[in-house]
Structure 1
Amino acid sequence: MSERAGGPGSPDGAAPEWAGWMSPSRYDEFIDLCADALAGHGVRAVYDGDGVLIAEDGTNYGLDNLSRIVRAEPPERWPQVVGAFFDSITDRDGAAGPIDPSTVFLSCQPREALPGPLAPALTEVLPGIVLVPAVDRPTSVEKLFGEGERTRPLGGLAGLVELGRRNLARVRFEQEAIIVDHERPDSVVVAIGADDPYAAGRLGVLDAVVPAAHRGDVGIVVAAPHQGLLLVHAIRGAGMVPALNGMLRFARAQYASAPRALSPHLYFIDADGGVQRITGPVADSELGIRVEGPFAAALQRAGMIDQASRAGEEQA
């Protein structure tokens, strides 16, 4: 059983709001699985009562994102899913050998699921999504979040990120062009996947995935609902309305159901590389497209602001 430090738990024994879909017994099982998985890596942690395991060194392990991942899995698979999650985020610097440079690629991690503060050498590739170096192993992926003896020979985390970019840019990927509205050929959304677990990590090598010549004059909209999928739409005309509405519906569904979830949101990347999240709460939808800020300004310059104002009208 996990050690618990109390917290704002419900007086009737129910799970807290972030885990409200679990029964009390499943909630207790989930917390114990998480604590046991950390203990398997030599990390003793105390549960704060409301979604965070606090290690003896002060590292906080948030469980909200993991709860969304296990929700899509049958309870009998929870031990494997929880174990794999903590395998990916636990610093195993002292447990593994030297890093083979040819095995370094790029992965993504929700900032809220980082095992500690964001390292200076790591950056958000999208708001709330951190690009991290990842070591490819035969049966798992080891994400690296901190500096250590193993990272120094390869230039630290900064050097590993650049190494990951070079390696990943050379790896083949698959793409499928989907015309969302067949009456509008400019409503194309490209779905990018791969035989490797680094589809979302290709946000770090976007020039190799979507060359500048294919992005149009306005910019692109991307979504990374989970590690195995990247969606891209190049804005070229009124077809962006069905394209973005379709992207958002699909991203939300994938985020809710797929393992290794990242984000249900859409993000605008302008011609200069600026990034903006363009989805959020709207009046008639839990999550909808918001035409504001740099996104609205870019569309205004392109004479597309009127079409864009219709985005979100078809949200389910």
Structure 2
Amino acid sequence: MKPDDTPDSVLPMLTSAQASHLRTLAAPYAQDGHHHSLHNLAHICRKAPEERWPGLVAAHFARLQQASKGDESAEELLRGVHARLLPAESLTPELAGALRYARVVADGLVFAYALDGPTSVRILTDRDVERAGIEELGRAAYTNLMRVPVQHDEVPVEGRARLHSLYGDSPFTAGKALFLDAAARQVVGEPLPDAGALVVVPTRHNLVYHPIADGSVVDAVNSLAAYALGAHEDGPGALSPRVYWWHRGSLTSLTVIDRDTLTFSLQPPPQLLGLMKGLVRLDRAGRLAPRTAAEAPDPVELTRTTAESMGRLGQDPAGLADAFASALALAHARCAADPRAAHIDTWDAWATAVQLGSALFTGAQPQECHLGEDLVRHLPATAAEPPADARAWLDALYLAVVCRQKDRIDRLCQVPLETLRQDDSVDEYVLNWIDTLQTYFSRRSMDDVVQKLLATMETSMPDALTHAPKDFVNRIDYQPTALFHRLIAGDHDAFAAALAEAVTEHAGYWGESVAPRARVALGPLAMASLAHDHGFPVAPDQPHLPTCLLDRQRIEDIP
């Protein structure tokens, strides 16, 4: 790189030589005693031949001269003030001295108040803020900002990700990123998930965000990064090329910029990385309620997929996890047309899921698996090499409990907890819950069971969650724990009430979804089956709890 091509440290969109030339042109206009940022002017000049720069500079400062001189009344300030985001590099030391109230809200972004005038926008100084009152100014700036009209587009990108683009003529549009949840409610009609959203503000005229709700966040982060960098370079009004995480009112940069090499990389903070891992794992396993409608799975197609997966196990034992996932989806899907699980094809699917789930974690001898209509597949001898998949272990155990497979339950409870603790996609409460169940089914001290159950409850509190969405935890994942609590307490009435609540929460979470897991509340079904065998009066024919499995009518021997 030639010396003259070195980017300027303050105005990186220009070379050092170009920035020096621009400062020389702007110097006469600084004699009015005001300090003016050259950031936006630099973006304008970057796209024009240098012989046009004197005219562009003159026009720029003419517009500033037409702006107010800072003698507005408090009422006028409150009427026109807006919250605004500024690029951090635009806040020169001279300007910072007059804007002590302004604050850095994230890497590369500064929050300030701006007055919307008839011909230009003026950043308010400390004297302005003192004149109007900081609290009053804050309320008015928010109210005025949320009144700024924007257009909204929903943009599909690679994978399943969808981005929400908010844009408009106002230079305050990007400032809505400060209050993204309110902006999303206002424009899209939906609040952001508890995990927040990824957002970019490449220019002052637009922002683009993606709600962090499922595994599509991985596709979204790359698409947002590419868009932000391109749109920021286009200017004028450039704001930031970074990707941010909006969470509970704060913005955190995911983008790391190496100033020496001028390269960009994405490094999510640990909390967000944990959320992303958890969402991807949950999403791939079909555990999250889809936000968009999808076609109901075809049991015939799922049967074919399961049979094919099993047929490859002799050559590829590593495919057992996929075969188990397919069989489990089939078992759930069969209950769409057979909600009582009264038919033999439904039982075959459940029995096969039991066989594959147990084999995945504890190994197995060669055995036959029936998939209905005389379709039989052979499960080859399988070594005991349990994967670090905590939720799949829970599925395998729940299936064994529902299908009354005592020997398989015993073997599953011998899977080392330390192996399952290697799963970095789950919250601590999931591992504590596994510990509770292993302790209980291994017939160890009830004092130990209670202690581990209490640890499960404590670590499932909202503030302790780092991987799973709160809605999923409360309505799906925690319900078996609440039922188990009532079960070991021997409280029949409380168990019945908790079971009714679990079924209601399951239905509310899945809504109209046709996903396989929407059909059966597997965890509550396992706890209800356990309660039934302990003499609890469990009401029959409850939705999402197949009666013929619950009361053992359909239970048969499994190889």
TM-score, L = length of structure 2? 0.42
- Quick check: 1:276 aligned with 2:255? no
Q: Which moved more, 1:208-217 or 1:194-203?
A: 208-217
**Where does residue 58 of structure 1 map in the other structure?**
none
Counterpart mapping for 1:301-316 below 5 A: 301-303=278-280
The residue type equivalent to 1:127 in the other structure is D
- Among candidates 151, 159, 162, match of residue 174 of structure 1: 151
Paired residue secondary structure (1:196):
coil
| Compared CA separation, residues 306 and 34, structure 1 to 2 (3 A) | farther
**Where does residue 25 of structure 2 map in the other structure?**
33
**Where does residue 352 of structure 2 map in the other structure?**
none
- Contact 2:13-2:42 at 8 Å conserved across structures: no
Counterpart mapping for 1:224-263 below 5 A: 224-263=201-240
| Compared CA separation, residues 69 and 159, structure 1 to 2 (3 A) | farther
Shift of 1:220: 0.3
- Tell me the distance in 2 between the aligned counterparts of 1:29 and 1:85: 16
Counterpart mapping for 1:138-217 below 5 A: 138-144=118-124, 146-148=125-127, 150-156=128-134, 158-181=135-158, 184=160, 187-211=161-185, 213-217=190-194
Write out per-residue CA displacement over residues 179-211 of structure 1, whole angstroms, 9 at most, x where no aligned residue.
013x52xx1111111232211121233232123
| Compared CA separation, residues 118 and 237, structure 1 to 2 (3 A) | farther
- Tell me the distance in 1 between the aligned counterparts of 2:174 and 2:221: 18
| Compared CA separation, residues 20 and 235, structure 1 to 2 (3 A) | closer
- Contact 2:216-2:280 at 8 Å conserved across structures: no
- Contact 1:72-1:256 at 8 Å conserved across structures: no
Counterpart mapping for 1:98-117 below 5 A: 98=73, 99-114=76-91, 115-117=95-97
The residue type equivalent to 1:116 in the other structure is A
- Tell me the distance in 2 between the aligned counterparts of 1:147 and 1:23: 32
Paired residue secondary structure (1:238):
coil
The structure that is helix-richer by fraction is 2
**Where does residue 310 of structure 1 map in the other structure?**
none
- Tell me the distance in 2 between the aligned counterparts of 1:289 and 1:305: 23
| Compared CA separation, residues 229 and 86, structure 1 to 2 (3 A) | farther
Shift of 1:84: 7.5
Shift of 1:66: 5.6
Paired residue secondary structure (2:230):
helix
**Where does residue 46 of structure 1 map in the other structure?**
none
Give the share of equivalent positions with the same residue, in percent: 25
The residue type equivalent to 1:200 in the other structure is A
The residue type equivalent to 1:259 in the other structure is P
The residue type equivalent to 2:169 in the other structure is D
- Contact 1:104-1:135 at 8 Å conserved across structures: yes
Counterpart mapping for 1:44-123 below 5 A: 67-68=42-43, 70-75=45-50, 78-79=53-54, 82=57, 95-98=70-73, 99-114=76-91, 115-117=95-97, 119=99, 121-123=101-103
The residue type equivalent to 1:37 in the other structure is Y
The residue type equivalent to 2:90 in the other structure is A
- Contact 1:226-1:259 at 8 Å conserved across structures: yes
| Compared CA separation, residues 85 and 108, structure 1 to 2 (3 A) | farther
- Tell me the distance in 2 between the aligned counterparts of 1:247 and 1:37: 38
The residue type equivalent to 1:108 in the other structure is L
Q: Which runs of 5+ in 2 are unaligned?
A: 285-559
The residue type equivalent to 2:110 in the other structure is V
Q: Which moved more, 1:105-114 or 1:253-262?
A: 105-114
**Larger RCO, structures 1/2 (Cα 8 Å, 6+ apart):** 1
- Tell me the distance in 2 between the aligned counterparts of 1:84 and 1:298: 49
- Tell me the distance in 1 between the aligned counterparts of 2:191 and 2:60: 36
| Compared CA separation, residues 194 and 62, structure 1 to 2 (3 A) | closer
- Tell me the distance in 1 between the aligned counterparts of 2:81 and 2:60: 19
Paired residue secondary structure (2:226):
helix
Rg: which structure is higher? 2
The residue type equivalent to 2:221 in the other structure is L
- Contact 1:125-1:203 at 8 Å conserved across structures: no
Write out per-residue CA displacement over residues 2-24 of structure 1, whole angstroms, 9 at most, x where no aligned residue.
xxxxxxxxxx9847542696484
| Compared CA separation, residues 258 and 77, structure 1 to 2 (3 A) | farther
- Tell me the distance in 1 between the aligned counterparts of 2:131 and 2:222: 46
**Where does residue 448 of structure 2 map in the other structure?**
none
- Contact 1:299-1:305 at 8 Å conserved across structures: no
- Tell me the distance in 2 between the aligned counterparts of 1:207 and 1:38: 40
Write out per-residue CA displacement over residues 205-244 of structure 1, whole angstroms, 9 at most, x where no aligned residue.
3232123953224220111111111111112223223322
Q: Which runs of 5+ in 1 are unaligned?
A: 1-11, 44-54, 56-60, 308-316
